[in-house]
């Protein structure tokens, strides 16, 4: 019996998922990889670590599913977006990858917009403003600060496309992921000649781009041996984790939105028409549906904020979780559930790595505001959950202001697994929220794209209609919705009140004072 493999390359680890032709998940498995912060605001990883975690995850999934490797009919890829991977002509990586949440490129981002005559002109050319997260800013930083590396570079890849290189030997990208490079003409779904000319980027450095369901190469013998698969398995284009996660949630038609809480948080809607916000308060990308697009806003430290709390301030819960073989997040959210709505007047700004939507501020910083002598641990945790949800609501309000109509928001990631966080999101967003039958987001979407590429379905839309079903709907509570509206209004006042101070804090840190 045929099955399909989805590989999702996340920031903290890789996940592999095997799905049968009916959409049933046969097995999943994960493996972690490290992240480095050599300087404040920097974020890097070694691509070899991605390959190691991906191969481990695939082997574990195959073992758990107990499937014949010959039954794997196609492979789909998903991955963290915007990261810069540079290789030489032999495919050897020249430096650690600079990741999506790296904030070192504020100077380059400003220079890009000045060079093209302002933000609105850049949006007309590539659909988005120049934010520090996007790939072109990183490429220009390398050219300025590491010229020898730049001179040796022959190929630019995004993170999941480095996995493709290791799987197939092919240098290929897809339109959804490459939309986040600031170098793709999204209307034409090809590289922007004017951008490449303006910034002296050799087109040979960039891979050809395809639609997400198209076959890009086949599994080589060495890669098959490492993965425990048969050589020759086709590998499809795949896409960035957010567009592919939308496929996994069935967000491939107007009226549906998704709220994904991973390390970052994304509020995402599908669009059949190309439309870019002139101010780029929300991003426009090509979607994984051929010839269509999406709009979304990104909160840089969403689940990452709760992860920071766990790693830094929750050692007792970590130890208890190990003893009882439980998820430490379950212990933390249980404490949050005991705290009152509004966390006793404590607010959390989730800007641990700067912010993207709606402020595009690499200097923004996080923190609790409103602490009192009687503030409890549960209130601190609840404030983290609420602060992240308020930040996600910032993105939702911008999408609504752009004229997008939303009838249902589908939840995924850590925020979908927690009952308190699911209800909190419905109450804050003021809209019906839902979880679907497969809460695996990008990995599931990658497997769906593999099935389409292998000919199991005629289109991505047909595959999602057949495979993705709503499992639960969460309605907002009337009283909670009204109370959260008041707390949200207060939350929106905090960043403007503090924004001028954040660059000063950064300067103090850099000067070692």
DSSP 143-165: HHH-HHHHHH--EEE-HHHHHHH
Q: pLDDT tens across 264-314, in order? A: 898 999 988 898 888 888 899 999 999 999 999 989 899 999 999 999 999
pLDDT at 512: 59
pLDDT tens-place string over residues 446-464: 999 999 999 999 999 999 9
What percent of the chain stands above pLDDT 90? 86
Q: In the chain, what percentage of residues exceed pLDDT 70?
A: 99
Whether pLDDT at 513 is above 70:
no
* Class at the top of the CATH hierarchy for domain 297-427+490-506: alpha beta
Tell me if domain 3-241 and domain 297-427+490-506 are identical in fold.
Answer: yes
Select from 282, 285, 313 the least CA-distant residue to 299. 282
Is the pLDDT at 390 greater than 60, yes or no?
yes
pLDDT tens sequence across 462-511? 999 999 999 999 999 999 999 999 999 999 999 999 999 999 998 887 77
Domain locations along the chain? 3-241, 297-427+490-506
> pLDDT tens for residues 99-156?
998 989 999 999 999 999 999 999 999 999 998 889 999 999 999 999 999 999 999 9
Which among 319, 340, 321 is positioned nearest to 331, based on CA atoms?
321
Range list of H helices, 214-301: 221-227, 241-248
Q: Please state, in angstroms and rounded to a whole number, the distance separating the CA atoms of residues 21 and 302.
A: 33
Mean pLDDT for the chain? 95
Q: Which of 49, 177, 241, 277 is catalytic?
A: 241
Nearest-angstrom CA–CA distance, 448 and 77: 10
Contact call for residues 453 and 214 (beta carbons, < 8 A) = yes
pTM score: 0.85
Segment 82-93 shows an average pLDDT of 97
Q: For the structural domain made of 3-241, what CATH number should be given? A: 3.30.420.40
CB 224 within 8 A of CB 62: no
- Measured CA to CA, the distance from residue 343 to residue 381 in angstroms comes to 8
Token pair for 357: 């939507």
Q: Annotated catalytic, 439?
A: no
Long-range contacts of 304-313 (CB under 8 A, 24+ apart): 304/101, 304/263, 304/264, 304/352, 304/353, 305/348, 305/350, 305/352, 305/366, 305/384, 305/387, 305/388, 306/332, 306/381, 306/384, 306/385, 306/388, 306/414, 307/12, 307/263, 308/352, 309/380, 309/381, 309/384
Mean pLDDT along residues 79-86: 96
Dist. CA 64–CA 307, nearest whole Å: 27
**Confidence at residue 114, expressed as pLDDT on a 0 to 100 scale:** 97
> What pLDDT sits at residue 474?
97
Q: What's the pLDDT tens digit per position in 344-354?
A: 999 999 999 88
Q: For strand 72-79 and strand 13-20, is the pairing parallel, antiparallel, or unpaired?
A: unpaired
Instruction: Specify whether the CB–CB gap between 30 and 495 falls below 8 A.
Output: no
Which residues are registered as beta bridge partners of 349?
367
* pLDDT given at position 273: 87
414 vs 213, which has greater pLDDT? 213
Q: d(Cα 223, Cα 166) in Å, to the nearest integer?
A: 7
For the stretch 395-405, pLDDT in tens is 999 999 888 88
Separation CA 96–CA 326 (nearest Å):
34
């Amino acid at each position: 019996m045929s099955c399909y493999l989805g590989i999702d390359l996340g920031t903290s680890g890789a996940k592999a998922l095997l799905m049968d032709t009916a959409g049933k998940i046969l097995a999943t498995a994960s493996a972690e990889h490290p992240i480095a912060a050599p300087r404040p605001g920097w974020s890097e990883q070694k691509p070899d670590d991605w390959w190691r975690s991906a191969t481990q995850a695939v082997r574990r999934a195959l073992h758990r599913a107990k499937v014949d490797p010959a039954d794997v009919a196609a492979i789909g890829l998903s991955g963290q977006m915007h990261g810069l991977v540079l290789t030489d002509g032999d495919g050897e990586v020249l430096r650690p990858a600079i990741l999506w949440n790296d904030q070192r490129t504020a100077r380059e981002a400003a220079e890009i917009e000045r060079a093209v005559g302002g933000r609105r002109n850049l949006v007309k050319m590539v659909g988005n403003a120049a934010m520090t997260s996007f790939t072109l800013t990183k490429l220009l930083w390398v050219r300025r600060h590491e010229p020898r590396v730049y001179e040796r570079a022959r190929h630019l890849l995004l993170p999941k496309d480095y996995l493709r290189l290791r799987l197939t030997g092919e240098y290929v990208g897809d339109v959804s992921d490459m939309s986040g490079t600031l170098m793709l003409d999204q209307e034409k779904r090809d590289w922007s000649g004017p951008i490449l000319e303006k910034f002296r980027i050799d087109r040979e450095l960039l891979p050809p781009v395809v639609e997400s369901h198209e076959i890009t190469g086949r599994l080589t013998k060495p890669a098959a041996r490492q993965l425990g698969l048969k050589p020759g398995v086709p590998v499809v284009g795949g896409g960035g984790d957010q567009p592919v996660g939308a496929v996994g949630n069935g967000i491939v038609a107007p009226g549906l939105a998704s709220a994904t809480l991973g390390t970052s948080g994304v509020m995402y809607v599908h669009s059949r028409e190309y439309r870019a916000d002139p101010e780029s308060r929300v991003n426009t990308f090509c979607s994984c549906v051929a010839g269509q697009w999406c709009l979304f806003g990104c909160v840089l430290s969403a689940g990452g904020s709760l992860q920071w709390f766990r790693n830094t301030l929750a050692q007792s819960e970590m130890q208890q979780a190990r003893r009882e073989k439980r998820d430490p997040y379950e212990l933390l959210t249980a404490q949050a559930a005991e705290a009152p709505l509004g966390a006793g007047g404590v607010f959390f700004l989730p800007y641990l790595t700067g912010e993207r939507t709606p402020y595009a501020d690499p200097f923004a910083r996080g923190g609790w505001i409103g602490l009192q002598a009687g503030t409890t641990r549960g209130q601190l945790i609840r404030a983290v959950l609420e602060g992240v949800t308020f930040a996600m609501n910032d993105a939702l309000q911008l999408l609504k202001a752009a004229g997008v109509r939303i009838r249902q928001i589908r939840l995924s990631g850590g925020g979908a697994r927690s009952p308190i966080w699911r209800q909190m999101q419905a109450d804050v967003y003021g809209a019906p929220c839902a979880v679907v039958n497969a809460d695996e987001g990008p990995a599931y979407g990658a497997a769906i794209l593999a099935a389409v590429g292998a000919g199991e379905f005629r289109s991505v839309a047909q595959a999602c209609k057949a495979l993705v079903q709503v499992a639960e709907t969460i309605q907002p509570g009337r009283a909670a919705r009204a109370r959260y509206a008041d707390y949200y209004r207060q939350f929106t006042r905090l960043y403007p009140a503090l924004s001028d101070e954040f660059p000063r804090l950064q300067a103090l840190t850099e000067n070692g004072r």
